[in-house]
Structure 1
Amino acid sequence: MNVLYPSFPIRRLPAMILIAALGVLVAGAYGVVHDQISYAISPEYFTKMKFRQFDWADVGLPPRAFASVVGFLGTWWVGMVAGWFAARAGLVDLPRAERRRCVPRCFGIVLVTAAVAGLIGALVGVALARSGDLGSWDEVRTELAVRDVPAFVIVAYLHGGGYIGAAFGLVFAIVYVRRRVRSFN
């Protein structure tokens, strides 16, 4: 089975779409919580950068609420991709009862891996910020008029780590799904 391009019986499509849609909701909720934490660390990361990137979605909400919107919009697609590839890896081939157990575990693997990698990224950002060696961030400081560069750096690393973690988490989840499928064949 090739997981990169669609070649599957059409009867599997509804389950695949449902799993991808669940991924959208799970990842979007994760993004909301993640960006509330990020906003608490560095409001400037949002007010100076993220809110500009997502200005098309600004409907006049208070900044914390808009950070939640940005969090959802920044992560929903990760869940869709994770759900789609997990489904393609064989989730839809499992018996219904096993699929119901596997789907939450699959998304849990991605979420935990993303959160751990995000935490590691944040810790790297903290170490960098404490080192005082933030000269490589001078362009960001100048272009975006960032005042609290250490907090900005911590959140930048937190976000980068989270996305890297989600990619690794998807790989781990696919391995998990493939093992479950093999155990039923």
Structure 2
Amino acid sequence: MDKYYMKPLVLVFLLMIAPVAAGLYGAMHDQISYTVSPEFFLKFRFPQFFGADLSNWTKPGNERIGAAIIGFQNTWKVGVLLGIILGCAGFMHKDQKDMFRHTLQAYFVTMIIAFFSGLTGLLTGIYSTHHISSLPEGISDPVSFKAVEIMHNFSYMGGIAGMLIGVWWHLYKKRKKEEVMG
């Protein structure tokens, strides 16, 4: 196949990877969230996503599956956006191999930054919840509930920061290669 068509094909492949990777990240992220605050899911996320009939999701063992489903649903769409931006940024590279490799690295950088941002949010939530307000009724562990809420917000902000750093990563790798090539 002509080299001219390879970079667009690589982009299509990268655009298929991004939402799946983001969705899997979200499923794992929500497993951590569920461990910290099952109430966040049982009293907030499950009703928000699954409606009034929670009988399938409140059976023992099903809660974690429900949390994973919610995590995947919340993040795959973010993966589409990140895939478009980071994948298109990959076009700056001279060939499809560099485009593919550096875009996957940018995806990884984005997920790592989102993950550590989420952990920062979790710790911030745990240690700064002296003023807790606007919680659903009947929350028995408001500190954990609020910490998970803050964790989720920090993770989204980390995803945005990670995306910007991912674009920078492309620029950095391109410049580095140009310096080597002379």
Question: Paired residue for 2:147?
Answer: 154
Deviating more after overlay: 156-165 vs 100-109: 100-109
For residues 130-182 of structure 1, the C-alpha deviation after alignment (integer angstroms, 9 at most, x for no partner) is xxx23x41x3143xx32211110110111111100000000000111123344
For residues 13-52 of structure 1, the C-alpha deviation after alignment (integer angstroms, 9 at most, x for no partner) is 5433321221111111111111011001101111111112
Question: Paired residue for 1:25?
Answer: 20
For normalisation by structure 1, the TM-score amounts to 0.81
Deviation at 1:91, TM superposition (A): 4.0
Say if 1:28 and 1:76, in contact at 8 Å, map to a contact too: yes
Residue 170 (structure 2) pairs with residue 174 (structure 1): no
Say if 1:33 and 1:68, in contact at 8 Å, map to a contact too: yes
For normalisation by structure 2, the TM-score amounts to 0.82
Say if 1:121 and 1:162, in contact at 8 Å, map to a contact too: yes
- Looking at structure 2, the residues matched to 122 and 41 of structure 1 have their Cα atoms a distance apart, in angstroms, of 9
- Looking at structure 2, the residues matched to 100 and 154 of structure 1 have their Cα atoms a distance apart, in angstroms, of 37
Say if 1:90 and 1:178, in contact at 8 Å, map to a contact too: no
For residues 46-89 of structure 1, the C-alpha deviation after alignment (integer angstroms, 9 at most, x for no partner) is 11111122116x89351111111001001111111111101122
Q: Percent identical across equivalent pairs?
A: 26
Paired residue total? 169
Question: Paired residue for 2:71?
Answer: 71
Question: Paired residue for 1:3?
Answer: none
Among 36, 56, 60, which residue is 1:60 paired with?
56
Aligned-pair Cα RMSD in Å? 2.4
Among 43, 49, 61, which residue is 2:44 paired with?
49
Structure 2 matches for 1:77-156, cutoff 5 A? 77-91=77-91, 93-129=93-129, 133-134=130-131, 136-137=132-133, 139-142=134-137, 145-156=138-149
> Secondary structure, in 3 states, of the residue corresponding to 1:171?
helix
Say if 2:18 and 2:82, in contact at 8 Å, map to a contact too: yes
Deviation at 1:11, TM superposition (A): 7.6
CA gap 1:75/1:122 in 2 versus in 1, 3 angstroms? same
**What amino acid is the match of 2:127?**
A
CA gap 1:92/1:54 in 2 versus in 1, 3 angstroms? farther
**What amino acid is the match of 2:87?**
A
- Looking at structure 2, the residues matched to 59 and 83 of structure 1 have their Cα atoms a distance apart, in angstroms, of 36
> Secondary structure, in 3 states, of the residue corresponding to 1:140?
coil
**What amino acid is the match of 1:86?**
L
Question: Paired residue for 2:10?
Answer: 15
